[in-house]
Structure 1
Amino acid sequence: MSFYRPFAPLFGAIFCCLLGVGATLGALPLYLRDRHAGDVEIGVVVTAIAVSAVIARPIAGRLADRHGYKPIMIIGVLLCALAGIGYLPADGVVPLTAVRVLHGIGEGTVYTAGATWLVALAPQERRGRFVGLYGICMWLGITLGALVGALVLDAVNFAAVGWFAAVAALGGLALVLVKRGPEHPAGPPRTGLVAGSAVLPGVALSLAAFGYAALAAFVALHLARRDIGHGIAAFNAFGVTYVGVRLFVGNLPDRLGASRVALWSALTEAVGLVLVGAAPNLPVAIAGGLVMGAGLSLLFPALALVVLNRTDPSRHGVALGAFTSFWDIGLAVGGPLAGWIAGLAGYPTIFYVMAGCALGSAALSLAGRRGRAVPAET
């Protein structure tokens, strides 16, 4: 643990900011429903944060490359705190959507600047593990925040949720301020918002994200159609292995090679999706969720490591920002796509099609392995 102590402020800062994001995520649907908002309006408000984060990540990465990671991360944390306060007077779909956009810009900025800062500090032989641990802090922040948000809304009111999000972000600000900024890597000035090294791994990530979106949205409905109760347990099982694998074997991309681990991770996800789609009972569905979690757990850090290894250090921010946006795009596309497939061919077909998408992700990683001799982008 003493080895990781110098990095704790960055892990803590992203946890605090995502704690606020999760709190609003857990409270907003219930709050809007009580105010008689429709399903479409609720969907717009809730997902606005993801749309703005997609746009903010590469921009934040470019700014971090040019001006330093610490000042850009501070700006992101302050935007998250400002968004928390912005929830207080917001009343109605349009004002809340505007606040969600601001929150997404803050979250995307914090993640991208913090991840790039972390990579700059981490030993090169442990970069994949550090990216994975950073993602776990995000996951825990959102998960615990959603629980806290629902409890605070029920016990107090929605304004208290906004205050909680603001205070949590300020806690992240305190952690960032006490951490000394790294030396800024020198490099040639570049103006693009998307690094070419991020495109192929990013598309592979999007294809894999389709499966996660399908599992989250439709596994309970799929199993209920087969008269199998407690279907959400399959999704919970996914979370168990997603976190567990990163904690205990998160160094595999560093040890075995990023492209190799990305290939096998995508294939593992495909197997899990087939198990869920064909599940005749709850134990098989849970097994599918466990297998999926094991696959997706290492896919993101492995592909991120591929991007980092092929990008000049002076462009790591814009590369990671663009790469991470592909995950958000995969979620945004995967959910509606799964719903469209369900309407045409039924729930099981969703998971078989998404297994095919995971195989496509594996094929891209295989192509990346064959082209690994390509020099790093400069």
Structure 2
Amino acid sequence: MEKEKLWTKDFISITAINFFLMLTFYLLMVTISVFAAEQFGANESNAGLASSIFVIGALFGRVFGGKLINTIGRKKILLLGIFIMILSSIIYFIPGNLSLLMANRVLHGFGFGVAGTATGTIVAQVIPNSRKGEGIGYFALSMTLATAIGPFIGIYILDHFQFNAIFVFCIICIAVSLVLSILIKVQEIQLTEEQLNEMKGFKLSNFIERKSVPITLVATVTAFCYSGVLSFLTFYAKENHVTEAAGFFFVVYAAAVLITRPFTGRQFDLKGPNFVMYPAIIGLLFALFILSQSDTGLVLLIAGAFLGFGYATYMSSSQAVAISSAPAHRVGLATSTFFILTDIGLGVGPFIQGLFVPFVGYSGLYMILGVCAILCLPLHHFLYGKNAPKGNE
């Protein structure tokens, strides 16, 4: 039987939109704290808050987008989020103070959350059901590449140009996304009267897709583990005198994803989610335990490779499962549910883990996170794995 076509114009366009939006996110995450410190004299705490407060806006954006995406329309929600991001990028040029910067970061995050919910919903619509795992995997790859490229571009611009060049670059990226969003064809879902009535009010079910929660809870724990790498890798590398290798950590991470994604995506669809999700969890726990013993650059980079296979594979696979679990008219809610909970895992992780660092050190922290990853094996089994489908083979 001939395979259904995956690489359509709309799939390529929505994946490119996601890449450019994610690129601006990661680029600003590593540079905006420096901007806050140098422009407004912010201390380390406030400079860090200027970076992370973005996530609060994104959470509200995802809640808003998930609830209204089918009533307002998927394409309109996408365009609304992108327009908010363009407005926010322009506000960065306005002379002000730290309070204005903080408020604008929340606004930028809100637009990002709205647009991100739309891209995640639209891509689920344009991917054939028989290639859902493979398609979501490639779509998630756009985020992985942005994770590696965004910080590199941000630091390069910071070293060679003025801050305004960063904001100009962001506007260009978002403008490209806007053009692609206008051209993309989106088939809107027509809700029945019963479905419209179901979506009214402020019930929890109007903000969270219940069927997507079990697998998303496991993904949230893996995101919690990954947040320790994002937040403390630089400090750990300095402590172990492997800072040069740390600069290539996420490059190796991205390379591992690029190499493994074609295989894992296809096997997800052919042999079922468990075939790739259990090994992905094992890859994550290997990465964390190897990282805890990274006293040389080579060992650190090996940990990065395992992390690229383990964490990135599990996250893209769990996103595909979360979306597939929901009825067609609630895919938007499933997408926002997935990102709301995993963003919480990424957001609260550094705060909780930071409380342990003075007592166990960074090596001890990664050992503890490795144990958390081990717990994901039975958690995945009982919440999803024992009833997972077998695949299309």
Alignment of 1:94-243 (within 5 A): 94-184=99-189, 186=191, 188-189=195-196, 190-191=198-199, 192-228=206-242, 230-232=244-246, 233-243=248-258
Q: 1:370 to 1:114 in 2, by over 3 A?
A: same
Moved more, 284-293 or 116-125: 284-293
Q: Does 1:307 align with 2:315?
A: no
Moved more, 141-150 or 121-130: 141-150
| Alpha-carbon distance, 1:295 to partner | 0.6
Q: Does 1:328 align with 2:343?
A: yes
| Alpha-carbon distance, 1:62 to partner | 2.0
Moved more, 266-275 or 227-236: 227-236
Mapped contact 1:219–1:234 kept (Cα < 8 A)? no
Paired AA for residue 194 in structure 1? I
Over the aligned positions, Cα root-mean-square deviation in angstroms equals 2.3
Mapped contact 1:58–1:319 kept (Cα < 8 A)? no
| Alpha-carbon distance, 1:208 to partner | 0.6
Selected match of 1:22 from 22, 26, 39: 26
| Alpha-carbon distance, 1:214 to partner | 1.5
Selected match of 1:353 from 354, 359, 368: 368
Mapped contact 2:289–2:367 kept (Cα < 8 A)? yes
Aligned length: 372
Q: 1:223 to 1:28 in 2, by over 3 A?
A: closer
Moved more, 225-234 or 205-214: 225-234
CA–CA distance in structure 2, aligned partners of residues 356 and 206 of structure 1: 15
State the partner residue of 1:258.
273
| Alpha-carbon distance, 1:177 to partner | 0.7
CA–CA distance in structure 2, aligned partners of residues 228 and 43 of structure 1: 24
| Alpha-carbon distance, 1:59 to partner | 2.2
Paired AA for residue 164 in structure 1? F
Q: 1:85 to 1:101 in 2, by over 3 A?
A: same
State the percentage of identical aligned residues. 21
With the length of structure 1 as denominator, give the TM-score of the two structures. 0.90
| Alpha-carbon distance, 1:77 to partner | 1.0
CA–CA distance in structure 2, aligned partners of residues 155 and 135 of structure 1: 30
| Alpha-carbon distance, 1:239 to partner | 3.0
| Alpha-carbon distance, 1:107 to partner | 1.2
| Alpha-carbon distance, 1:182 to partner | 1.1
State the partner residue of 1:376.
none
Mapped contact 1:12–1:172 kept (Cα < 8 A)? yes
Q: 1:67 to 1:110 in 2, by over 3 A?
A: same
> Secondary structure in 2 aligned to 1:278?
coil
State the partner residue of 1:274.
289
1:87-113 CA deviation, whole Å, 9 max, x = no partner? 111532211111111111111111111
Paired AA for residue 288 in structure 1? A
CA–CA distance in structure 1, aligned partners of residues 164 and 338 of structure 2: 34
Moved more, 123-132 or 26-35: 26-35
Paired AA for residue 253 in structure 2? F
State the partner residue of 1:4.
7
Mapped contact 1:266–1:295 kept (Cα < 8 A)? yes
Q: 1:28 to 1:226 in 2, by over 3 A?
A: closer
Which ranges of structure 2 fall in alignment gaps of 5 or more residues?
Answer: 200-205
> Secondary structure in 1 aligned to 2:185?
coil
State the partner residue of 1:89.
94
CA–CA distance in structure 2, aligned partners of residues 240 and 66 of structure 1: 40
CA–CA distance in structure 2, aligned partners of residues 91 and 149 of structure 1: 22
> Secondary structure in 2 aligned to 1:230?
helix
| Alpha-carbon distance, 1:312 to partner | 0.7
With the length of structure 2 as denominator, give the TM-score of the two structures. 0.87
State the partner residue of 1:57.
62
| Alpha-carbon distance, 1:286 to partner | 2.1
Mapped contact 2:6–2:127 kept (Cα < 8 A)? no
State the partner residue of 2:52.
47
Moved more, 35-44 or 133-142: 133-142
1:326-351 CA deviation, whole Å, 9 max, x = no partner? 22111112222222221121221111
CA–CA distance in structure 2, aligned partners of residues 158 and 230 of structure 1: 25
Mapped contact 1:210–1:330 kept (Cα < 8 A)? yes
1:261-295 CA deviation, whole Å, 9 max, x = no partner? 32331122012111111345332332222112111
Moved more, 116-125 or 235-244: 235-244
> Secondary structure in 2 aligned to 1:182?
coil
CA–CA distance in structure 2, aligned partners of residues 223 and 116 of structure 1: 38
